[in-house]
Chain A
């Protein structure tokens, strides 16, 4: 049996996924990227391998992706997150026409064809608005864990609009709303709306077609997903572990490369 690995070194988290030659996912690991991306990648791969009981030597091909892909010494090839998220989402949900990946520093909208290849894509500019980072800063402002933000947003009956898309200005806006004793859930809902509108605007430039799959850590935020679904008018595919979709796609592309040869 031969095996393939994909490693996604993101700005906040690093994932490794192991698949076999039938493209079955055997296991994965999620690590914090921290200050040393190479170490995080090494650790993620080590953990994933030991979970599935496969040795490094049995790995036929390794593809690295994510912003830290360039520096991964043991990768056979480096492929951008765009292609990897596309492939991963296609594999999990074959009817996917559009992938929305929201990570720590980037948000991307990717349109793909029936083979999981990229047709068009767009990314946020150099700005944290519409990213996981924005939500983390805001979670910090409220002193709640980022994992709980989504639930709080869902609880709100009403929504307080946040007018600024800039993280710094939005934060001061939030601070003054807190000072005015405005309901926390409603402010949080407004913040979620700000993220979704921002990414929604980006999505319009490439167009949304087919079923929508969300990937990246922010897909775990049910508040964000709910607002996207509200905009779309139908439901979105969310895998039980959306954070690994990039690494899964990388592993699939590693396998595909060999099969093409």
Chain B
């Protein structure tokens, strides 16, 4: 798999698509038509990245970082976490994690970090080849792990690391915090000019901000389509269709894609097409996706007439980023990026989940506890209890990792899921 060119990748994906068409799942509605387009966009992005080196400055970026600022300088952006998810879906998690563990990294470290470091040490990737970055850009609004992980890369390759430090939001965002963050942006600009060799342009920035906000808003509409009964797509689809808003945000291609997707979903709603043929129960998901189980689980639930219609994870890119405004790009960026779910307090999360459960008419909640992602997994038992008390909603906690399936036990997960579904009466 080492040096797979895009044409070959395309062909493999076409083959997969055909296979899927040949044996449609009788419990699921027709697959989304634009899935092929999504695959092309993402494959192309990874494929072109290898030619980016030299032609454009390359940055590796954390999923919660304010990437809009980099786009002003024409950075080609790679998202190691997205790459980690790709490795997870291709069932390469354990192999790459083991590469990092060989160098002494502990197996309790986030598996995205282990995969990325494993890739950095071994060069292994299902994406052919990733371009070595000119810049590392990390924000601690998702976790502290990324700082140490990116520091390691910066050290190993001797390349600059820029961090964006977001104060944790305990209650309310304070004006001092905003000032602190805006100052960081101001300090970044000359650095970015130096690294990229391009000048800052406010007009270009405003345009990027506009596109990013619109992309986030459209992504929100895509998710909101699942409020309909039957929901026109499943959260398992959304996990996959999330990639552009995460990693191509601020570029026109992501926005265009979501407009197409939204149209398709609206058509489905009009025609009453559901992602699950017979939607009996609707569930909500908390935490990152289990990438190596997406297909299995979407079938497992669909067989019982159960559809996942909402997730706090996919919602994260629709929750705050649409508040970006071109009138005050820096301030609005500071707000939007410091208020994302993982940098926000638990009572915020509780309120958000309550609202989503109501808005999406959710019958049950599946909470994934990830040893990898401490900031996402902490407090889940309290959330579960409080939601049960307040809304009487039944919930299930599953333990797994999002990519490293060495920590996953099929039998136990299945028993838990089946018992939960029996409890819901399906």
Contact = CB atoms under 8 A, between A and B. Distances in A.
A22 interface: no
A80 B418 contact: yes
A39 to B, nearest CB: 20
A81 B419 CA distance: 8
Contacts of A82: 415, 419, 422-423
Contact of A123 (B381, B384, B385, B416): B416
A83 B409 CA distance: 20
B394 A120 contact: yes
Contacts of B394: 119-120
Which 6 residue pairs of A and B lie closest in terms of their CB atoms, listed nearest first? A82-B419, A80-B419, A118-B423, A126-B409, A83-B422, A80-B418
A123 to B, nearest CB: 6
A126 B415 contact: no
A142 interface: no
A193 B220 CA distance: 51
B399 A118 contact: no
Nearest to B380: A205
Contact of B397 (A81, A106, A122): A122
Given A120-B388, A126-B407, A83 B419 contact: yes
Contacts of B418: 80
20 contacts: A67-B411, A67-B415, A79-B422, A80-B422, A81-B415, A83-B422, A83-B423, A119-B423, A120-B395, A120-B423, A121-B419, A121-B423, A123-B412, A125-B409, A125-B412, A126-B399, A126-B409, A126-B412, A205-B384, A205-B397
Interface in B382-409: 384-385, 388, 394-395, 397, 399, 407, 409
A184 interface: no
Given A80-B422, A118-B419, A122-B397, 17 more contacts: A67-B415, A79-B422, A82-B419, A82-B422, A82-B423, A83-B419, A83-B422, A119-B394, A120-B394, A120-B395, A123-B412, A125-B399, A126-B399, A126-B407, A126-B409, A205-B384, A205-B397
Interface of B: 381, 384-385, 388, 394-395, 397, 399, 407, 409, 411-412, 415-416, 418-419, 422-423
Interface SS majority for chain B: helix
A81 B411 CA distance: 12
A117 interface: yes
A86 to B, nearest CB: 9
Contacts of B385: 207
Contacts of B395: 120
Contacts of B388: 120
B415 A123 contact: yes
A121 to B, nearest CB: 6
A10 to B, nearest CB: 12
A126 B408 CA distance: 8
A121 B416 CA distance: 9
Nearest to B392: A119
B411 A205 contact: no
Interface in A191-241: 205, 207
A118 B381 contact: no
Contacts of B412: 106, 123, 125-126
Contacts of A123: 412, 415-416
Nearest to B411: A67
A201 B196 CA distance: 54
B423 to A, nearest CB: 4
Nearest to B384: A205
